Amino acid sequence: MEEISTDILVIGGGLAGVLSALEAEKSGLDVLIVGKFAIGLGTNTSLGSFFTAANSRFSKQDHFDATVKAGKGLCNVNLVKVLVENGPTAIGALTAYGVPMIERGIGYGIDLPAHSAQLPGVVLMKGLVERLRGTSTRLLPGLTIFDLVIEEGEIQGAFGFFKDGKPCLIRSKSTILATGGAGAIYQRNDNQRSILGDGYTLALQAGLSLYDLEFVQYYPLVLAEPRLSTFIVDTEPKEARLVNEKGRDLLEVLGISQNIQQATMTQRDRLSIFLYEASQEGDVYYDLTQVPEEAWGHFPLNFLKKSRFPFRERPFLVSPAVHFFMGGVETDEKGATGIPGLFAAGEVVWGLHGANRHGGNALTECAVFGIIAGHSAAEYARQRESPQSQGIAPEPLTRKWERKANHYLRRRRGVFDHPRDLLKGLKSIAWKYAGPVREEKFLKEGLDHLVSLEKRIEQVYPATPSELFRKKELENVSLLIRAILEGSLLRTESRGSFYRADFPQPDDSHWLKHTCYRLEKGEFKFTHPPTKPPPSVH
């Protein structure tokens, strides 16, 4: 087993992780950043583009109001205040790191040449990672964290495996969890394939509670052609049309007079539910054949133009898809979790967005709270004596984690199901039973199907390193799907992105509450703490 020591460990190479590493490094302490794959690329951040934050036309009050309005009574107002207050400064920090930020609409975008077909998020992350490489921070891609290491109630680091199956124990004085969300646990999603909610299961298994996991945000219009990768395709030109198999204009059916891009910004939930229901009856197409030539020079159409698929000649399949998780780990305004020394930032964190996220707030959240978590983790590490001087001897810890590694790597013969097929089965249960439209009888049906898959997952015994990772994924994903199905059954109302066809209205008298998920002996225990402080407080 490889052993590494550092002052500050950052788990996750998206915007929240990379920015927290850049800020923590300024303290002069040792920083190590690890990611399942590359640091920076292959993350959800590399797919994003827009930051909502106060600018010359959009005030802090406007930002606050828009965020709380979208959150439908469930936002943690203290976190919203931190976001709003620090948004412009965080954008300034990105500019200082060399990212070409430009004021746009209600926030900021990445300033790229007019006809550039580069993904803005890729430009953002390439720039920041290059900057990180110029510091003393150690970058360790290709290490998947399986467990947080907690001793005597305090974080001591993390344990994981390299791609070749070699185990690794990292000792750290403080740790930042920045593993992103879990969109890819659904059959239809626009996330990177690796975004499977690892941070949520790491937190649950370390004894932390999670909150509001049942709130999943959908993006209404994502490419659904089977041979193409998923890609958000809403566009500005008014000539773009959304049609069903019979050629009927679906925005007309819904009575929406905005262009498609405006509708996806302002009526995301309504459009997602409608398109989900329409797709149960037949295919839904996006038709760009009437879009004039000049519009194809701009992003994202110029990106589509590069594909071999004839986007300009024929309508193509689209579908709503899972986009973002509002739920997650609880932190305070300094990014601290309930475990001393463990901080969290980015999509893995719960609270700010309430029942639905306002567009552009996720990247701003990563920037603002990534910076804060970096400072907090550095401060904690600086004040903390080394774990050895606190009586935690290195040898017993090593032996403990060697035993754990052997347990993970133990090979046994068993019933053989291909992990890929099982993962497909899990994703399909998530989409069918815990997707945009939920209902008691289907949620229960989903749980029944899940039980039979869970039994088959138990009997997957990894024989190769790759199967070791697949088995862990299956366990994580099935746990999260169970959480969402069970949590959704309890919430008997509809609010924000959460829609129960059997309870289609919000119920403020009973449900201005959060759902708290706690894992006890492998079973979820639920409580429903009321929101605090009231959303009207500013």
Instruction: List residues binding ligand FAD (CB under 6 A).
Output: 11-17, 34-37, 43-45, 47-50, 144-145, 178-181, 190-191, 194-195, 198, 232, 323-324, 346-347, 360-363, 366
Beta-carbon count within 10 A of 392 CB: 15
The sign one gets for the Cα dihedral 468, 469, 474, 479 is positive
Closest CA to 37 of 114, 127, 143: 143
CB of 302 to ligand FAD, least distance (A): 17
- At its nearest, how many Å lie between ligand FAD and the CB of residue 179? 4
At its nearest, how many Å lie between ligand FAD and the CB of residue 16? 3
Q: Shortest distance, CB of residue 194 to ligand FAD, whole angstroms?
A: 5
Strands (E), 59-215: 101-104, 107-110, 138-141, 143-151, 154-162, 167-177, 210-211
3-class DSSP state of 3 = strand
Closer Cβ to ligand FAD, 306 or 521, answer by number: 306
CB closer to ligand FAD, 222 vs 489: 222
Quote the least distance from Cβ 484 to ligand FAD, whole Å: 18
By C-beta, is 325 or 517 nearer to ligand FAD?
325
Instruction: Answer yes or no: are the C-beta atoms of 296 and 289 closer than 8 Å.
Output: no
| C-beta of 120 vs 341, nearer to ligand FAD | 120
Minimum Å gap between C-beta 13 and ligand FAD is 4
Q: 427 is written with which tokens?
A: 């994703």
Q: Minimum distance from CB of 56 to ligand FAD (Å)?
A: 20
Amino acid at 209: S
The least CB distance from residue 202 to ligand FAD, in Å, is 7
d(CA 24, CA 381): 10
The residues that bridge with 168 in the sheet, in sequence order, are: 2, 160
The distance of closest approach from Cβ of residue 292 to ligand FAD in the complex, given in angstroms and rounded to an integer, is 25
Secondary structure letter of residue 390 according to DSSP: G
Q: Is the bond preceding 167 in cis, omega lying within 30 degrees of 0?
A: no
Please identify, using beta-carbon distances, which residue of 251 and 345 lies nearer to ligand FAD: 345
Q: Which is nearer to ligand FAD, 181 or 462 (CB)?
A: 181
48 versus 436: smaller Cβ distance to ligand FAD: 48
CA angle 374, 96, 61 (to 5 degrees): 75
Closest Cα partner for 357 from 323, 387, 392? 323
In the complex, the smallest distance separating the C-beta of residue 152 from ligand FAD, rounded to whole angstroms, is: 24
Q: Are 472 and 145 in contact (CB under 8 A)?
A: no
Of the pair 472, 500, the CB lying nearest ligand FAD is at 472
- Least distance CB 162 / ligand FAD (angstroms): 11
Q: Determine whether 142 is exposed, middle or buried from the number of CB atoms within 10 Å of its CB (0-12, 13-18, 19+).
A: middle
**Cα separation, 387 vs 312, whole angstroms:** 61
Based on CB atoms, which residue is closest to ligand FAD, 218 or 324?
Answer: 324
With residue 217 as reference, give the H or E element that holds it.
strand 216-223
Which tokens sit at 309? Answer: 């698929």
The rounded distance, in Å, linking the Cα atoms of 457 and 248 is 43
Question: Is there a contact between 176 and 8 (Cβ–Cβ < 8 Å)?
Answer: yes
Q: Give dist(CA 471, CA 419) in Å, integer.
A: 7
Q: Tell me how far, at minimum, the Cβ of 34 lies from ligand FAD, in Å.
A: 5
- Calculate helix-pair angle for 361-383, 77-96, nearest 10 degrees: 90
Q: Is 194 exposed, middle or buried (0-12, 13-18, 19+ CB in 10 A)?
A: middle
Please name the helix (run of DSSP H) or strand (run of DSSP E) that holds residue 272, with its range, or none. helix 268-281
Task: Give the C-alpha distances (Å, rounded to integers) separating 104 from 108, 366, 493, 502, 505.
Answer: 5, 19, 36, 40, 35
Residue (354 or 446) nearer to ligand FAD, CB: 354
- Specify the residue, 146 or 499, whose C-beta has the smaller distance to ligand FAD: 146
Residue nearest ligand FAD, Cβ-based: 14
Q: Which is nearer to ligand FAD, 144 or 337 (CB)?
A: 144
